[in-house]
Structure 1
Amino acid sequence: MKSIMFPPPPSSIYAPPMLVNCSGCRTPLQLPSGARSIRCALCQAVTHIADPRTAPPPPPSPSSASPQPPHIPAPLGQLPHPHGRKRAVICGISYRFSRHELKGCINDAKCMRHLLINKFKFSPDSILMLTEEETDPYRIPSKQNMRMALYWLVQGCTAGDSLVFHYSGHGSRQRNYNGDEVDGYDETLCPLDFETQGMIVDDEINATIVRPLPHGVKLHSIIDACHSGTVLDLPFLCRMNRAGQYVWEDHRPRSGLWKGTAGGEAISISGCDDDQTSADTSALSKITSTGAMTFCFIQAIERSAQGTTYGSLLNSMRTTIRNAGSDGGGGGGGGGGVVTTVLSMLLTGGSGIGGLRQEPQLTACQPFDVYAKPFTL
């Protein structure tokens, strides 16, 4: 199971960071208190912060001034270009060699990458992968690297862009003290180093990738973690029963704080409700361990040859998970496409967990007709 419940360290309580733009790639960077310079983890450029107590030197006279070469930003190396029409951050964390280890999360990340490239025509160069298998230290899913990746995802986005954030790993929740949560809890994601650096709270995720979205930009978040129902803090939740009937619940904070976008569209599909847990299991694929939600999400898309709506997608995912509890994991076979071609390439392993008790959730920045709106990335 992907649930960790214990009081977070004080550092995980979100406070708006002091940000400066990198002098090289313009990525927002969190400036440590008292620091006068900071190195960008993405492009390695060093940004110097002016000391307001120091007066600038007088300008040199024309006769003594020597021509200066123009500033050339440090190269981004193998990182994706941040201005593609479609781009994605995929994060899968297994917490290897720890008591929190999960078996299926890196499999989830690989399968999601395959789906985005082959089904939704994302360029491989526009997908930023964060897993423990990456050799680049800036692609290890630490708290700082995850923050940088989320900033990268929305950097410079313009109308027509399609953004995806997929996360498979541990999720948790903690008491909310500012009154902006309906249930009194903040939902969190757990980076690889969460035990020392703290968790990433839904307030920060919302401020980073939801509120900046301009008109015409579309963001989809696919979160396979415990307590993830409202982990993007979006204003509206689609409450659907087993018959497929639904109403939109208003989760806007009583304080009036706006948690929507700056005109763009944000939709989140999560593995379970805020008070539920998500399974890491081999009961569905029968081949290897995966997150139950990620498996059902990919399977629902692959089985819908003519496309699908958000309502049909959500119903299909929920039905597969319910059936896994009644027939020992039915729904894992016959999917074809990504489910068989990707998972069969991965190493087998993990332990099955029957009787799944989770219900995938849908949240959005604005209510819409879930059976009329086509799903597309």
Structure 2
Amino acid sequence: MAARRERCNGCGIELLVPPEAQTFRCAVCQTITRARPNDPFGRAQEPVLQATSWFKGMINNMSSSINSVASSMNNNYSASPSPMPSYGYYPLPPRPQTYSASHGRKRALLCGVTYRWQSYELDGTINDVQCMRYFLVEKMGFPNDCILTLTEDEKDPYRIPTRRNIQMAFQWLVHGCQSGDSLVFHYAGHGKQQPDNKGEEIDGYDETICPLDFETEGMILDDEINATIVRPLPKGATLHAIIDSCHSGTVLDLPFLCRMNREGYYQWENHSPLSGAYKGTSGGLALSFSACDDNQTSASTTALSGTSTLTGAMTYSFIQAVQSEPGLTYGRVLTAMRSKIREANTGIRLNGPIASLIRKVLGTGLSQEPQLSSSERFDVYSRPFIL
């Protein structure tokens, strides 16, 4: 049966829980809430009703206003005081009017893709986005109207995580960015690799994220992510990416990867393209916490929350690590995330088409090690973590 919605008694955040769950633990505030009795005749149809309602709404919106919206978007964006450059790689589509015009010093793009009714459907990505939004607003002081959320639950057709919508959301995130701004990009969904035909990757593969329509419209390559949200960062601005997907170690194509062993010793690996192409910023700082190395896969799990609430292992461990102690450094965040995942490894639930085969071979779960990459080298144990 389909997962159902329950609201945490502690912080009020809405989560998806399995229909058989009697209790669930909130990934943000840790409150254990008793689930409501299951209603097999009502709530079980909720996903179908929601999908039908969303589809009808999308058709009505598009049929009534697509021409006027397209015209006004182009006019408005061309009149913007500081348009985003395309850097010669990927032409950027106009920003929809439905995206917030508010550009505070802190803003975030949260993207969760479930791929409903597909053989590769994921569980927990909506929970990941909901938890991350609550964490950023309530714990990190991000204004609520400066957070853009893309999921399949959204009623606005421009907020469904399609390839084009994610591209437009990237543009929204960095548009007008100035010194002192703090940007966050969180992605929970599938990630893949494909052969690199530009000779830029050390391992010969580009890393990608998979929009909802990736089978027809294509994946979004690390080259494009870098060109769109990394290279425009001006001096004094910071971007943090939190990427909860497979093969995500270098998905922002940043020049340096922090290679850390289990004892916490590290060195920065130079991942600058062999072609000599520039992958840094325009003076700002870009950092990425990713779920695993490029050759690893990530997982959703109930083991970290201690109950049947399903979340991405990386998203949950990141939120818990940042809240674990005052005065954290980047090194402490990374080691705390890795420790949390190692402790709960036997409860990990695998994602992806090869999940059943891996379960048979490994039995207890799939090991993943979160990674840190950056646009510049620094001492990870002395630089304070500031979001």
Give TM-score, length-normalised by structure 2: 0.72
Map Cα deviations across residues 278-314 of structure 1 (whole Å, 9 max, x no partner): 002222222311111001001111222x131110010
User: How high is the sequence identity, in percent, across the aligned residues?
Assistant: 59
Distance across 2 between alignment mates of 1:248 and 1:39: 35
Candidates 110, 122, 126, aligned match of 1:106: 126
3-state SS of paired residue (1:186)? strand
Following the alignment from structure 2 to structure 1, what is the Cα–Cα distance between the partners of residues 233 and 266? 27
Counterpart-to-counterpart distance in 2, 1:120 and 1:139: 23
Aligned match for 1:272, one of 292, 295, 311: 292
Gaps of 5+ in 2: 1-72, 87-91, 349-362
Distance 1:114 1:315, change over 3 A: same
Residues 107-128 of structure 1: CA distance to partner in whole angstroms, max 9, x if unpaired? 0000000010011100000000
SS of residue matched to 2:278 = coil
Deviation, structure 1 residue 81 = 2.3
Per-residue deviation at 1:356?
3.5
Secondary structure of 1:24's counterpart equals helix
| CA spacing shift, 1:354–1:113, aligned 2, 3 Å | farther
What is the 5 A alignment of 1:26-41?
A: 26=80, 40=94
Hey, what's the Cα distance between the residues in 1 that align with 2:233 and 2:196?
Answer: 25
Map of 2:377 onto structure 1: 367
SS in 2 for 1:295: helix
Residues 229 and 362, structure 1, Cα contact 8 Å, conserved in 2:
yes
Instruction: Indicate the residue corresponding to 1:135 in structure 2.
Output: 155
Q: Which has the higher helix share?
A: 2
The one-character-per-residue Cα deviations of 1:204-262 (angstroms, maximum 9, x if unpaired) are: 00000001111011000000000000000000000000000000000011221110001
CA contact (8 A) 1:270 1:360 kept: yes
Instruction: Say which SS state the counterpart of residue 126 (structure 2) adopts.
Output: helix
Structure 1 residue runs without a partner (length 5+): 1-20, 31-37, 44-76, 330-352
Show the counterpart of 2:167.
147
Aligned-pair RMSD on alpha carbons? 1.9
Q: Report the counterpart of residue 284 of structure 1 in structure 2.
A: 304
Amino acid at match of 1:115: F
Find the counterpart in structure 2 of residue 42 from structure 1.
Answer: 96
Q: CA deviation at 1:180?
A: 0.6
Q: Quick one: distance in 2 between partners of 1:158 and 1:165?
A: 17
Does the CA contact (< 8 Å) of 1:139 and 1:145 recur in 2?
yes
Matched, 1:307 2:327: yes
Aligned residues: 291
Describe how 1:212-251 pairs up with structure 2 within 5 A. Answer: 212-251=232-271
C-alpha distance 41-253 of structure 1, shift in aligned 2 (>3 A): closer
Per the normalisation by structure 1, the TM-score is 0.74
Give how far 1:80 is off: 2.1
- In structure 1, distance between residues paired with 2:317 and 2:248: 16
Q: Distance in 2 between matches of 1:94 and 1:314?
A: 26
SS of the residue 2:76 aligns to: coil
Structure number with bigger Rg = 1
Counterparts in 2 of 1:88 and 1:39: CA distance versus 1, 3 Å: closer
Tell me, yes or no, if the aligned pair for 2:154 and 2:160 is still in contact at 8 Å: yes
Alignment of 1:184-223 (within 5 A): 184-223=204-243
Structure 2 distance, partners of 1:140, 1:302, is 30
Distance 1:357 1:193 in 2: 29
Which of structure 1's runs of 4+ aligned residues deviate more than 6 A?
Answer: none
CA distance in 1, matches of 2:112, 2:168: 16
